[in-house]
Structure 1
């Protein structure tokens, strides 16, 4: 049924309606294939056998390069180096099947909100997590961290120039972290601390460089345009130790310690700090606010929390049959959680790991966002319903219809919902910041 949030009306609880493979779609696919084949034949007739030789040579080079790339991608999903080529072949076959299905639908994605690139990404991630999630979520986890870091390192300078931020490395608590600094040092500023996701076992803080820079730009722009506030916005990407090398509660404690570090070394008040996190990082943002509340230190609570696709109930992650279009397959999600919680043996401790098992009163303003197709969506609705039942009035829910888990994790070139999803979070954060800064900062 429809539900209204601060960002408009959206459908909640509706069954997904994928695009069907119709006769018309198949006919279009046949026409396009026939056109390409005819064009190649005409070129061959016009220029002779040399065209065929050149085309075959180019095709061979492309195939070799593609296979090498797939072998590189297949390593984290292989239990040994010997199996890498075979896994690479399976991945290539899967890509071809996705493209064939796309063509068969008349070159339309499964859902109208998707693009081909997003569908390829989501479907391939789900496939690898279904087939090899038991490896990636445990023993092969370290192998799936470097690609995320490499991506972040590759775009760091160019993306920071685009958003007018200055990358600044920090070494603290035995780890490397990253600041994305606002070059304009104003008297007042807001700091966003973003904790990356990855199921507590994979990913890297640099994976979220684009998300962090967009947050800087959007939050600053909304504060200036809507609230007439001219404020510096710095974004901090902290590191934390992950499983299987470091088990619960290492990661959440590392996040808490880096928040304390920022307060101590950046000369900034807690009510000028915004927690942000996606997936596992979002859960740890919520858990640390609960920790501060239970420690009776309300003065240390951050200004607000932006929780993108958080896991809030560790006891119920859902089955694959309920979420066939989510990138998080049960094999991967369950293995990650089992690995992360391997040291937890007492039922009471396990119960308290889940944010949903705590009171949600007296927390900072919280922005919650899930995709309607994702594994954590149903528990997200239960989390918000619990908050409403307790009388919580400073929590907002945003649902991205027909999107899978964690749309903000992907670059905007991949996820068509990323920019909108981040903007919704920044609108919420700006509203909270304006409430605190309104009487302190002059008009733009």
Structure 2
């Protein structure tokens, strides 16, 4: 049985107050909250076996190394990567995307084409624009429609033998749209293109199987998954990671160094220069353990209840418009109220204890498509409740009354 009240006990921050009101945290698409078991894992590391990894023969170093590599295996198992060395631990999704974008500088030539979707976060746009500037490659865009869905007929027309790489998010952070990534991947592979999927928003709700998807690269941030900030994953097929040159030079990513020549370490260390976020990697594994103990099917079903309930309640407010109305979406509601700036709504509901995100959500092209400055975004997680949604809706009504 899914018991949301019991689950809420796992999250100490949910007991605090904001502006004298009980905290209602609806900014989960930006970062999730952290359960006590993950906090305890972080404290345990720094209290008992804090040491650098892969380099020391002393006991603390070996304990830290073992814990870090066990976490890598947990991540491999969770995403069903074929090999543990296909899991590169990064500082997050942005770092992971930049590793691939920088590596492709050595593989592209002028006139090659890259395809991005209109639904992307800036972190899955800007690195590729920089890559095009370096190489002379051309960036093409899959357009979206009014419902916030990708127009796949247009995607078919963009694909050609010039296409070298396609990059699309699994779920839109701004609208909650779940993209048909298996279809996108299969079509790209037919023209010989590689595919990178930004899974930052999908992984709190879905358990991706990278082998079943046959995806070439998949990137994730732990802080969306009840883990700490500053750590994430780049999954890459072994053959692609072998082709790409190192992103950074330094310690750990080398095999031999002389002043005449350096040879690089094998995977995954080739892409993990310097001292990593050791504690973060270990805590990432603990966060996956926690979420898997609840079950991703259970999480998804409950969050769909929250989405349906929240959508129904918000649409009862006159003048409120929701952006992103795909039938296939996750628990994100982006909306505006006629004549009121989203920032003003966000400021007032914060005074009532409700945390939401306002602005363009690092997805400015989406806002430009709708010709709006931004939206109010409420994003629900499995530790939220319908009672919290009721309080939020009343807060929005109060904001509307004050600002109209």
What TM-score comes out, normalization by structure 2 length? 0.26
Bigger strand fraction = 2
Q: Answer 1 or 2: higher relative contact order, Cα 8 Å, separation at least 6.
A: 2
What TM-score comes out, normalization by structure 1 length? 0.24
Q: Which has the larger radius of gyration?
A: 1
